[in-house]
Amino acid sequence: MVAVSADHRFDLGRFPLASGQVLEGAQLSYRVLGCPTATADNLVLYPSSYGAWPEDIDWVVGPILDPARWCVVLVSQFGNGRSSSPSNGGGWWGCGRWPVTHADNVRAQRRLLEEVFGVEAPALIYGWSMGAQQGYHWAVLEPDRCRRLLALCGTARTTPHNRLFLLSLRQALTADPAWNGERFEGEPLRGLRAFACIYASWAASQAHYRGLSLEAGGWSDLEDHVERAWLPLYRRHDPHDLLAMIDTWWASDVAMASGCGGDLAAALGRVSAAVTVMAGSHDLYFLPDDCAAEAALINGARFELLPLTLGHRAGNPRDDPALQLRIRAALEALLDRSC
C-alpha cells in the first residue's frame, strides 16, 4: 500500500490563459504519492487524463512508479472537476468553447512545481492519453524543464479523426433536452447515455468486444454493459466539465501552442527531453501510426507498440500485471538514457 496524502489545493489566483481570457481564483488540485528527497530530484509529474480523478489513476504508483524511489505529483488537469472547472467556479463560456488549453495546464503545473516543491525540472513526466498530451506540451513549451517523458497512447497534436470523435461526443451530449444552447438545465441523462455509448465504442477496440460474448443477447445485454461499465464514468461528472475537457483535448496542438504556426516538425524539433512513446496496437483514436509519426519527429525518441486488443485503454492497465511490467521496463530504459 502506498501512503496517500489528502489532496492539496494550490491557489493560482487570477490566472491569465493563453487565449487572453482569465480564470479568476484559479486552483490546481494535486495528490502526492511518495516522499521527495532533500533536493526533490525524484519528483515525477503525472497529469490526469480525460475524466480521471486521482483515485482512478493513482494505482500507477506501485506497479509502475515505485513510491520508495519516486515522489509522484498527480495533478488534476483543469476542467476535471477538481482543479478549476466549470463546475467549481472556473467559468463557463456558454455557446463558445472552454478556452483552457494544455499550454495553460503546463504553465499552472510549472508554478506548482516551483512554488510548492522548489523544482524547476521534474525527473520524469508520465502521462496517458490527455496526460501524454500535457507531457508533449511540457516537452515542446518548456524544453529546459522537461528531462524525460513517457507518453502513453497520446499525440502532441489532436488528429482530424480524433476531433471527429470528440465532436460526436459533444453533439450527442448537447442533443439532450437539458441543453438550452448555452448550458445544461438538469442532468442530460439521454445525452449521457449516447455519450457513454460513443465512448465505449471508441475507447476499447472492435476485437475487445469480439471477446466479450455479448453477441448472443439482444439489445438489452449491450445496453446493460454500457450502463454498468461506461455510463457511471461520465455521469459522475458535471456535464459542463465533460464538455470543457473535450474542448481542451480538441485544441491540443503543440505546433500551434509553441508559435510554430502549425509546423509540427518544427515544434517537436524543439524537444530536448529523452522521450519514449508507447501506443496501443488497437487504439482507435490515438492511432499507433500517428504516435509513431510524431515520435519520428523527436530527436532520439523511442517508439514501442503495445500489442493489445483492449484499444486505447491499453495505456492504463490497472488490471494487467504483465502490461504494467512492460511499461515499467520501458520506464527503466528511459531512465537509463542520458538527458
- Residues with catalytic roles: 129, 283, 312
**Contact residue for a second copy among 135, 191, 239, 317 (CB under 8 A):** 191
- Comparing C-alpha atoms, which of 190, 69, 64, 79 is closest to residue 123? 69
Give the C-alpha separation, 13 to 11, whole Å.
6
Q: Is residue 186 near a second copy by the rule CB under 8 A?
A: no
Which residues from 271-330 bind a second copy, rule CB under 8 A? 284-285, 287, 289-290
Residue keyed to cell 439482444: 218
Which residues from 41-60 bind a second copy, rule CB under 8 A? none
Q: Which is nearer to a second copy, 108 or 231 (CB)?
A: 231
Give the C-alpha separation, 62 to 47, whole Å.
17
Give the C-alpha separation, 174 to 97, whole Å.
13
Stretch that binds a second copy, among 11-19, 116-124, 183-191, 319-327 (CB under 8 A): 183-191
**Contact residue for a second copy among 24, 37, 115, 171 (CB under 8 A):** 171
Which residues from 60-119 bind a second copy, rule CB under 8 A? 97
Which residues from 248-267 bind a second copy, rule CB under 8 A? 250, 262
**Contact residue for a second copy among 222, 266, 292, 305 (CB under 8 A):** 222
Strands (E) in 39-82, as ranges, are 43-47, 71-75
Give the C-alpha separation, 121 to 138, whole Å.
10
Q: Which is nearer to a second copy, 213 or 338 (CB)?
A: 213
Query: Which residues touch 49 (CB under 8 Å, ≥6 apart)?
Result: 57, 127, 128, 129, 130, 131, 316
Q: Which is nearer to a second copy, 5 or 206 (CB)?
A: 206
Give the neighbor-by-neighbor strand order of the sheet with 22-33. Answer: 8-16, 22-33, 71-75, 43-47, 124-128, 148-152, 274-280, 302-306
# residues near a second copy by CB under 8 A: 48
Q: Which residues bind a second copy (CB under 8 A)?
A: 97, 157, 159-165, 167-168, 171-172, 174-177, 179, 188, 190-191, 193-194, 197-198, 200-201, 205-210, 212, 214-216, 219, 222-223, 226, 250, 262, 284-285, 287, 289-290
